[in-house]
Structure 1
Amino acid sequence: MRLIGSRREVKLREELVAGHQHLFANADKKDKSIRSLFKKLFVNMSKEQKEDKRILSCLRSNYPNMVTAYCLHWIPEQGEDIYFYLVDLDNVAVIEIDRLDDRVEIIFENMTLRAYRKELSKSGRLLLAVALDLAQKDIDNNKHVQCIEHMQK
């Protein structure tokens, strides 16, 4: 699908970027204090933040070279949440997280982009096209940063 810069595309782009920033927020900040770490993980962290950390951890463990991730779809079930994340230009991660007990192991499945695309409506294909555009830019930016870092060595 070709992007034309419509208002709908701009709105979808804003929503995807906000979700991306939320998922990766504070992921790379380092606090060496054990007490601070404990507070962040267990005392002051909301259930949503814990879920985001679990999602990011699952994504990073299954895609160690992951540069970006955009949430394409969320299905709130009775006892679990199911998320679909675009993690690169070829794969969609399907993650099922128990909503009631965070000790329950996350269920992970990899889906090819081709298989995911087959199930989409027109609006879903538009969302995917915008997410792919954002992911391509993130991947290109990462390659550029790695090239600069390599040149500085």
Structure 2
Amino acid sequence: MKLKGTMTEQSYREDLIASKLHLFNDKSMRRFLYIIRETFPAMNTAYVLSWTPDQGEDLISFLVDTHSVIKIELDRYDATVAPIVDVYSIENWMKGLSKIFQIKFAVAFDLAKNDLV
């Protein structure tokens, strides 16, 4: 998908940059960052694609560098509960995405690509 510089894209860009800063700098995100680094030791950058807080868990999907999406289900209250981790190729993740989510993904991919230059 080609980016056009729309206001929607700009809004996503701002949110995604904030999500990256939050992931790498906020103590509350340490468990997620640890899981990502454990799964992808050579990881350089990551962006939150979606975050669904459930009653007792958080379900978060991250774009990792420009090669994978990792979906993590993490118990919010009990750190001893093992997380559920699923890894997807970009191609598999993109299947069936709504148009609006495709735009968000394209912006995240663009940001990740620029981080890796």
Instruction: Please give the TM-score of this superposition, normalised by the length of structure 1.
Output: 0.73
Structure 2: how far apart are the matches of 1:12 and 1:89? 17
Note the C-alpha offset of 1:88: 2.0
1:111 aligns with 2:72: no
Q: Which residue of 1 aligns with 2:12?
A: 12
Select the residue among 70, 80, 95 that pairs with 1:93.
70
Structure 2: how far apart are the matches of 1:24 and 1:88? 14
Equivalent residue letter for 1:116: W
Q: Deviations over 1:2-23 (max 9, x none)?
A: 1011111111000000010111
Within 5 Å, give how 1:59-98 maps onto structure 2: 59-98=36-75
Note the C-alpha offset of 1:137: 0.4
Instruction: Please give the TM-score of this superposition, normalised by the length of structure 2.
Output: 0.94
Note the C-alpha offset of 1:98: 0.5
Note the C-alpha offset of 1:66: 0.3
User: SS of the residue aligned with 1:96?
Assistant: strand
**Greater relative CO (CA pairs within 8 A, separation 6+):** 2
Q: Which runs of 4+ in 1 moved over 3 A?
A: none
Larger radius of gyration: 1
Q: Which residue of 2 aligns with 1:32?
A: none
Count of paired positions: 117
Equivalent residue letter for 1:17: I
Structure 2: how far apart are the matches of 1:91 and 1:104? 24
Question: Matched residues, percent identical?
Answer: 41
Note the C-alpha offset of 1:100: 2.2
Greater per-residue strand proportion: 2
Structure 1: how far apart are the matches of 2:81 and 2:55? 15
Greater per-residue helix proportion: 1
Equivalent residue letter for 1:62: T
Q: Which residue of 1 aligns with 2:104?
A: 127
Note the C-alpha offset of 1:119: 2.7
Return 5+ residue gaps in structure 2 as ranges. none
